[in-house]
Each structure stands twice: as structure tokens, then as C-alpha cells.
């Protein structure tokens, strides 16, 4: 639900034409990921609910599920994805990478992280307790140099950072997986998981203890 809330937030804040949900392929910083086919299926189920909600509240945004990364061979680097998307969108379109603040403060551990700004803006939703001071000094310098308003992101192609602290959703994917490991027989899904995704997880026997 945190991912969906982040997408809905920036769909409204940036008046997005398209909101692309993209399951990662082979994640370089993560081992033992759930099979890509399952993650894609769950993303599609979640996207249906998000699309319905946005159709009522913000109908100008089209929700798209992309298989771009899971179809790519080898490690799935975000910079490669953004480079491809920039080439397809052209030099003038405003592109934004939407992430949580937990990833923002460790952005300098990503592959070729400085090049991300050559292709897109980076927009982050701050979780409760977020502090820029937890980022490295070089990264804090980048925050200061590149921070933009929503209008600044909308009106330029790439290169900025937008940090939004209005979401206040504190959901950890690690904690959710731990909850799922012991909740397979529960009558209702965890509060932070869409019902269709919960039913898929149960049917496919995923995330069991």
C-alpha cells in the first residue's frame, strides 16, 4: 500500500500523464527475490486498484505496468532503464523516478547514481522520522543543489529532486514479508496489503515461514 500511496501522491502532485509501475528484474543489491513472474502478477493486481482510484480522483493519469526490467537480461540497473525511457520520450519530456525516502538517503550506493539526473528527476516521499542528515555529506550536497518544487519538476525534463513529506505512510517491505510469513491462514489481509494481492500470495504459497 505504501508503493501505491506514493504513486497516487505524485500522480496528483505532478499531474502525471502516465504512472509506470515497474517490477525490478535481477536486483543487484538484493538476493533471494521472489520470482519475477509472481512480482509482475502482483503488480498488475495492485495496479488495477490504483487505476480505479485514480480514475475517480485524477482521471488524466494513465496507470501502466511495465515489463521492461524483468525482460532485460543481467543486472537491473535503474540508470539503464531511465536512459532507455529518455531516448523514447525525447529530450523535452519531464520524467520522474518515484522512490521512498529510505532509498533516497542511500542513493549514492546505486550504480552510476549521478547519471540518474541526466535522464530524470528524483521524487521521494518521506516516511515518518525521515531526516536528510542520515544521508552522506556528498548526497546532502546534491539535495541542496538540486531540490525543486513540484512546478520546477513539471516544467523541466530532468535533474531535480523533489522531497514530499505529506504522505506519512510508514510501511516497511521487510516487515510486511515477516508478517506474511505468519499470517497465511488469517481471515483478512494485513492492513497494508491490497486484498487481490493477498489472495494471490495465499494461492501461490509465497512468503511462508
pLDDT in tens, the chain (209 residues): 888 999 999 999 999 999 999 998 876 556 667 888 999 999 999 999 999 999 999 999 999 999 999 998 888 899 999 999 999 999 999 999 999 888 999 999 999 999 999 999 999 998 777 888 999 999 999 999 999 999 999 999 999 999 998 876 655 555 555 566 566 666 677 778 899 998 998 899 888 76
Domain that holds residue 123: 2-171
CATH of the domain at 152: 3.40.50.620
Q: Please state the three-class secondary structure of the chain as a single string.
A: CHHHHHHHHHHHHCCCCEEEECCCCECCCCCCCCCHHHHHHHHHHHHHHHHHHHHHHCCCCEEEECCCCCCCCCECCHHHHHHHHHHHHCCCCCCEEEEEHHHHCCHHHCCCHHHHHHCCEEEEECCCCCCHHHCCHHHHHHHHHHECCHHHHHCCCCCCEEEECCCCCCCCHHHHHHHHHCCCCCCCCCCCCCHHHHHHHHHHCCCCC
In a domain, 179, yes or no: no
In a domain, 208, yes or no: no
In a domain, 90, yes or no: yes
- In degrees, rounded to 5, the angle at the alpha carbon of residue 97 between the alpha carbons of residues 95 and 100 is 155
In a domain, 192, yes or no: no
Domain count, the chain: 1
- Taking the complete model, does pTM exceed 0.75, yes or no? yes
**Which residues partner with 124 through β-bridges?**
99, 163
Amino acid at each position: 500500500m505504501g508503493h501505491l500511496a506514493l504513486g497516487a501522491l505524485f500522480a496528483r502532485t505532478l499531474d502525471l500523464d502516465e504512472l509506470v509501475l515497474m517490477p525490478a528484474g535481477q536486483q543487484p543489491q538484493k538476493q533471494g527475490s521472489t520470482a519475477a513472474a509472481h512480482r509482475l502478477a502482483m503488480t498488475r493486481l495492485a495496479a488495477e486498484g490504483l487505476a480505479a482510484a485514480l480514475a475517480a480522483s485524477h482521471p488524466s493519469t494513465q496507470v501502466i505496468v511495465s515489463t521492461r526490467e524483468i525482460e532485460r537480461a543481467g543486472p537491473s540497473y535503474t540508470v539503464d532503464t531511465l536512459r532507455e525511457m529518455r531516448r523514447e520520450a525525447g529530450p523535452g519530456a519531464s520524467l520522474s523516478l518515484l522512490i521512498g525516502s529510505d532509498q533516497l538517503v542511500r542513493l549514492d550506493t546505486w550504480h552510476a547514481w549521478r547519471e540518474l539526473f541526466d535522464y530524470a528527476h528524483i521524487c521521494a516521499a518521506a516516511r515518518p522520522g525521515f531526516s536528510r542528515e542520515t544521508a552522506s555529506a556528498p548526497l546532502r550536497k546534491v539535495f541542496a543543489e538540486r531540490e525543486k518544487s513540484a512546478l520546477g519538476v513539471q516544467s523541466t525534463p530532468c535533474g531535480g529532486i523533489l522531497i514530499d513529506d505529506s504522505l506519512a505512510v510508514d510501511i516497511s517491505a521487510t516487515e510486511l514479508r515477516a508478517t506474511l510469513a505468519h499470517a497465511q491462514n488469517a481471515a483478512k489481509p494485513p492492513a497494508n496489503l491490497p486484498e487481490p494481492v493477498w489472495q494471490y500470495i495465499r494461492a501461490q504459497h509465497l512468503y511462508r515461514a
